[in-house]
Structure 1
Amino acid sequence: MLSGDDQRSRAFAKPAFSEAQACALVESVFGFKVSKIRPLPSYDDQNFHICISRAKDNADGPTEYVLKINNTESSKTPDLIEVQSCIIMFLRAAGFPTASVCRTKGNNITSLVSVDSGSEIKSYLVRLLTYLPGRPIAEVPMGPQLLFEIGRLAAKLDKTLEKFHHPQLSSLHREDFIWNLKNVPLLEKYLHALGQNRNREIVEQVIQRYRDEVMTKLSQFRECINHGDLNDHNILIEPSESACGDATYRVSGVVDFDDMSYGYYVFEVAITIMYMMVESKTPVQVGGHVLAGFESIVPLTPVERGALFLLVCSRFCQSLVMAAYSCQLHPENEEYLMITAKTGWKHLQQMFDMGQKAVEEIWFDTAKSYESGISM
């Protein structure tokens, strides 16, 4: 996803490669012959699921991959893309279900491809990642145990990245990145996309409360690297039998590291709670289970806990405002862009109507119930 800058060029930034062009790209850059290809949904990049043909003398290795073509704006930050790719490999080596990064014929992680669009030369960074099994958790009912495991996963991921080092690590300090929860006030530039209605009034109130109640406490939060987008389409699951024979699920994949940046532990749990609420029939109850899982690895401080409600509201605002704005630029991608909006406005209004104290009581009581081994 793009930063707050260069938004005027965003309508022209998204790649528009045909399937034939994508196949040719895989062959020329990575040396693989594509046997099957289909587009995958994406926000402002372009992704393809591809199957490759294996030579008879090379039958080993994966045959399914994801071709990622970054938009022209993010393609201008190769250091950031390389750090994100190295993090994917680091987490895989640490036992997380992330993809493998396929190297180019020149043994690089990425390749910068230039395309003559007629009026100008456009450059795109391309990568090839192994395709992960499973289905998005958005497609299954999420019970307390799965929500707990997802919270635990979010905390373990951030905790593990404390040990990650890279010469270009500073590229994760993305000062104007619209999706970092540090930058909620930047949403004001895009409020025009909402028109004049109650939704806009709620967003304006959240932004003001964020300024008053969160920005003044940022220095008290514990910093870490955030995945930043653990949504219900970026976590994949597979069926798994529990000890008592019941059908359960296990996480089989974590994808889309494009929103990684420096943030805080409390940001990651807030973002995860918000996205787990999106598909739930009882959204307010979700937070306590995710929080319990997260705190089983990284207990929050009282100051961090006190900011959680407003941070979840803020992430709803980021997602909903930017989806409305992006739809104006890319109406052809409306179905994907508005996934969160289908229920998001309703959930945000419900949280706002209930108020912070009532929502926190549900979350914190649920999280506390795990300490005694009785989850609510």
Structure 2
Amino acid sequence: LMEYVSDTVPTPRPIRTTSAHIFAAAVFPIGNKLSSTRKECAVRLFTFLPGATLCEKEVWPSTCQQWGALMGRLHVATQGLDFPGIRDRWTQWSLLNVCKIDRHLHTVGLNDEEKKLVEDVLLAVQDVLTSVQRLPSGILHGDLNEQNILVRTGRGDEDTEVYAVLDWGDVQWGPRVLDVAVMLTYVVLAPTASRHCYENVAHAMTGYMQHMDLDCSDPSIFKTLICSRLCQSLVLGRYAKLLNPDNDYVLYSQRRGWKVLRKLWKTPISELVSAWNIVLRENGVKEFLTDSTEAS
């Protein structure tokens, strides 16, 4: 998959071994190089792509538009591809499995308010997931967040170019709208340089629609899916921390996640649509209707 996609979308390309395999097995000491404990590990080598991630960087409207465009190009590149191993793959990070986080709600240290909020979102997303499974499906990256894209900076921060995709560890099969919703979740979480974070979401939508249709014309579905991904990230992040106390990476979304989730969940859909339509109108893109959940 990565070899194929890298022909059209920059992504690290796996380098095959001299025997034409994409990985080799080697035995390494565990803990430090003097350790007597040794384990066989899989070793892979990838081409290097220069740049930096968007982690901790403020995003501009142009950044968000390129972010969405990168996902659109990715979906174009994977259209028509079908790998049985991906189609049959199960991952707890798929939005199709978001309701399964309810098994962790009483074990990850949520307070009553946090638990009630997550339960409300999970209740709402059940009907949404039934609806979106009827939408076009394909190969999903699964986690196009700010740490999984590479950027090149120009003379100023506004000149940042989003150009490459990293980390295919969550690749899966499903409705494309789920991949878009995951990407939009991290857009709304990103520190914003100028526009409101809700408007940044619409900028990412316009970038995506330069290459692919959104597949979904109901803005309330996007709101529910984004909130669901926030819940998934917050709950599974805490659960992963319980299993591996030294892994601080899994708590990255906690810094702003709860604040964003509370605010977004309380925001009326009419207010969201109004913010999104400002940007869609500026870019000459089809707007969402303000008096219903159907797009014009």
CA distance in 2, matches of 1:360, 1:123: 53
Aligned-residue offset at 1:301: 3.9
Aligned-residue offset at 1:236: 1.1
> Counterpart of 2:65 in structure 1: which amino acid?
F
Aligned-residue offset at 1:308: 0.9
Identical aligned pairs, as a percentage? 25
CA distance in 2, matches of 1:124, 1:361: 52
Report matched runs for 1:198-347 at 5 Å. 198-211=113-126, 213-240=127-154, 248-281=159-192, 282-303=196-217, 305-334=219-248, 336-347=249-260
Aligned to 1:143: 60
Report matched runs for 1:1-376 at 5 Å. 87-94=1-8, 96-113=9-26, 123-165=40-82, 169-174=83-88, 176-191=90-105, 192-211=107-126, 213-240=127-154, 248-281=159-192, 282-303=196-217, 305-334=219-248, 336-371=249-284
- Provide TM-score, normalisation by structure 2: 0.84
Aligned to 1:42: none
Aligned-residue offset at 1:121: 8.4
Aligned-residue offset at 1:111: 2.3
Number of residues paired by the alignment? Answer: 278
Aligned-residue offset at 1:116: 8.6
- 2:219–2:269 CA contact under 8 A, matched in 1: no
CA distance in 2, matches of 1:322, 1:104: 35
Taking CA–CA contacts closer than 8 Å with sequence separation of 6 or more, which of the two structures ends up with the larger relative contact order? 2
Aligned-residue offset at 1:227: 0.6
- 2:203–2:279 CA contact under 8 A, matched in 1: yes
Gap runs ≥5 in structure 1: 1-86
Q: Deviations over 1:58-93 (max 9, x none)?
A: xxxxxxxxxxxxxxxxxxxxxxxxxxxxx2111111
Gap runs ≥5 in structure 2: 286-296
CA distance in 2, matches of 1:103, 1:160: 22
CA distance in 2, matches of 1:304, 1:264: 15
CA distance in 1, matches of 2:20, 2:238: 40
CA distance in 2, matches of 1:260, 1:183: 14
- Provide TM-score, normalisation by structure 1: 0.67
Superposed CA RMSD:
2.7
After superposition, the Cα gap between the structure-2 partners of 1:272 and 1:246, relative to the gap in structure 1 and judged at 3 Å, is closer
- 2:81–2:139 CA contact under 8 A, matched in 1: no
After superposition, the Cα gap between the structure-2 partners of 1:276 and 1:172, relative to the gap in structure 1 and judged at 3 Å, is same
CA distance in 1, matches of 2:136, 2:220: 14
> Counterpart of 1:360 in structure 2: which amino acid?
V
CA distance in 2, matches of 1:306, 1:240: 37
CA distance in 2, matches of 1:135, 1:161: 25
Aligned-residue offset at 1:263: 1.5
CA distance in 2, matches of 1:148, 1:370: 11
